[in-house]
Amino acid sequence: SQTIHQWPATLVQPVGSPLSLECTVEGTSNPNLYWYRQAAGRGLQLLFYSVGIGQISSEVPQNLSASRPQDRQFILSSKKLLLSDSGFYLCAWSPAQRGFSGNTIYFGEGSWLTVV
Amino acid sequence: QKEVEQDPGPLSVPEGAIVSLNCTYSNSAFQYFMWYRQYSRKGPELLMYTYSSGNKEDGRFTAQVDKSSKYISLFIRDSQPSDSATYLCAMSADRGSTLGRLYFGRGTQLTVWP
């Protein structure tokens, strides 16, 4: 079965510090990978998605970047955090070949980021 | 107009009640519909998915899609305190291309009290 791991689970970072959140998926090959942010009262916001190694699409201009150095590894980064970067960050994956379930995606446990 | 509208609640019901959660949408091209359950400080987990119109049942949960009204529902029978969570609807139009966009509602917060 497929599993998704995301870390760290919680972090508190000062303004201006760098950020690195990491996500790995097991049990599948060539998944589509996603980074979402969930802010209180604002729902899920898609930040980045990737259909393959080195292929990153950004949904919104922001202080963040993403990279996919390996097939099942997805990294969210920032060089200098802003207060507005605080939130709950979720990594997710979906099968490359979608069948009946369409593009159903599966989420990791999330990372709580507080920028102080 | 947002693609997907969902009443954020909060919704509070006694144990054993039937719960009805709903979403409306504007894009008539949507044909895949999903419900996710999210416990506090956890990632959303897929609860149910349906394709096109109709009903789908899984234990105490029933998902219903009415494409003519652009309206989807999730019913929870015999609700339990363990059902207390935020429920998010999601939907998409695309199946054929490599990556289809998934549109989420903002979620409805449900509390089931004993």
Q: Taking CA atoms, what residue in B is nearest to A99?
A: B95
3-state secondary structure chain B: CCCEECCCCCEEEECCCCEEEEEEECCCCCCEEEEEEECCCCCCEEEEEEECCEEEEECCEEEEEECCCCEEEEEECCCCHHHCEEEEEEEECCCCCCCCCCEECCCEEEEEEC
pLDDT tens, position by position, B40-67: 999 999 999 888 888 999 999 999 999 9
Cβ of B34 within 8 Å of Cβ of A104? The answer is: yes
The C-alpha atoms of residue A33 and residue B72 are separated, in whole angstroms, by 27
Contact present, B32 and B51 (Cβ < 8 Å): yes
Predicted confidence at residue B62, as pLDDT, reads 97
Identity of the residue numbered B45: E
pLDDT tens, position by position, B6-41: 988 899 999 999 999 999 999 888 888 999 999 999
Flag whether pLDDT at A40 surpasses 80: no
Flag whether pLDDT at B100 surpasses 90: no
Q: Which residues contact A116 (CB under 8 A, 6 or more apart)?
A: A12, A13, A14, A15
The C-alpha atoms of residue B108 and residue B10 are separated, in whole angstroms, by 6
Sequential DSSP letters for A5-43: EEE-SEEEE-TT--EEEEEEEES-SS-EEEEEEEETTTE
Best to test chain B binding among A2, A10, A90, A98 (most B CBs inside 10 Å): A98
Q: Is the peptide bond before B44 cis (omega within 30 degrees of 0)?
A: no
Q: What is the least distance, in Å, from the CA of A38 to any CA of chain B?
A: 9
Look at residue A83 and give its three-state secondary structure: helix
Burial of A8 (0-12, 13-18, 19+ CB in 10 A): exposed
Task: Please give the residue that has the higher pLDDT: either A104 or A31.
Answer: A31
